[in-house]
Amino acid sequence: MNASRTPLAALAAAAAVALAGPACRRAAEAPPPASPDAARAAAERYEQALAEGDRAYADRDEPARLAEAIAAYGRAATVRPRDPGPELRIARAEAFAGLAAEDPARARQAWDASARAAERALRALSPAWAQAIDQGDDPAAAAARVEAPGAEALYWLALGSMRSAQTSGYAAVLAVKDATLAMMSRTAALDERVDAAGPHRALGAWRAALPVAAGGGAAAARAHFDRARALFPAEPLARVAEAETYAVLVQDRALFERLLGEVLAPGDGGDPDRAPERGVARRRAKALLERAGRLF
């Protein structure tokens, strides 16, 4: 497989505009054996970089701190290039950057970077998936070969690929929909709780945006949003996604306003570790309410 192409590029060469970002990289070759002292020093650098990244990531709602986190995780990945741990952290951090970005070009750059890091992690966590992709199997079929250890990496790969395509337009979304729906559905089957029920949140939004003939529709979207709410009742990003996609699809303005009103209600409940995500949800809720007259 050409190392400059994403696995999803196998869907259609015509989708290059949507898929130019996430690149496919083979796992690095094993380095030569290091001396005990060098190995200890490398281990210390690795742990220090991860710790620095984790501290910065806790403040990810500050752009400078988010950039510090990504840089630190990158240093850890350089020390251990075949370790999925730093790559998963990069995927999470870049995904937050994409989520928080207001500029579409910046969002696409971040989603692409998230997908690339997720793919590198998935190659280490699911060799069967990597083998299927490298031998040219359909990415949608290859997703079935991922097992539980690769669930989160598969999630970020699917999410980053679809969100990147969404910044390019509907044709790009149609080009990746089969692969991303299959990957996200597999993630939901393996670990539906990842990223606060992120798989169901994503599937609900995607199916609401697609016609029934393309795997979407109101009923399918409703089922995913209901499951996301059952798993994480206080998650505001789920309400924002439901309002933006499902409520608009069925033209239920009352539901739209209720969901966004819940996001903007006073109080700071929910998981304290997801306070930055709540901040993003509130900004998006305000922006959607300002557009209500054009959506209904």
**DSSP track, 180-245:** HHHHHHHHHHH-TTHHHHHHHHHHHHHHHHS-GGGT--HHHHHHHHHHHHHH-TT-HHHHHHIIII
pLDDT average, residue stretch 130-158: 97
pLDDT score of 197 more than 70: yes
Give the chain's mean pLDDT.
Answer: 90
Give the separation between CA 118 and CA 84, rounded to whole angstroms. 9
Among 21, 103, 112, which Cα is nearest to 63's?
103
pLDDT average, residue stretch 168-185: 94
Give the separation between CA 243 and CA 254, rounded to whole angstroms. 10
Give the separation between CA 129 and CA 158, rounded to whole angstroms. 14
pLDDT at 26: 43
User: What proportion of the chain, given as a percentage, has pLDDT over 90?
Assistant: 81
Q: Residue 23 — very low, low, confident or very high, per pLDDT cuts 50/70/90?
A: very low
Is the whole-model pTM more than 0.75? yes
pLDDT average, residue stretch 271-285: 96
Q: Residue 30 — very low, low, confident or very high, per pLDDT cuts 50/70/90?
A: low
Kindly list the structural domains of the chain, giving each domain's residue range(s) and its CATH number in brackets, ordered by start: 1-21+40-168 (1.25.40), 192-296 (1.25.40.920)
pLDDT at 10: 40
Cα distances (Å, whole numbers) of residue 127 to 63, 117, 215, 253: 34, 16, 29, 47
pLDDT at 14: 30
Give the separation between CA 151 and CA 143, rounded to whole angstroms. 10
pLDDT score of 12 more than 70: no
The phi, psi pair for 252, rounded to 5°, reads -110, 90
For the chain, the straight-line distance linking the first and the last C-alpha, in angstroms and rounded, comes to 46
Q: HSE, CB side, 13 Å, CA atoms: give it for residue 66.
A: 17
pLDDT at 90: 99
Among 90, 73, 71, 76, which Cα is nearest to 46's?
76
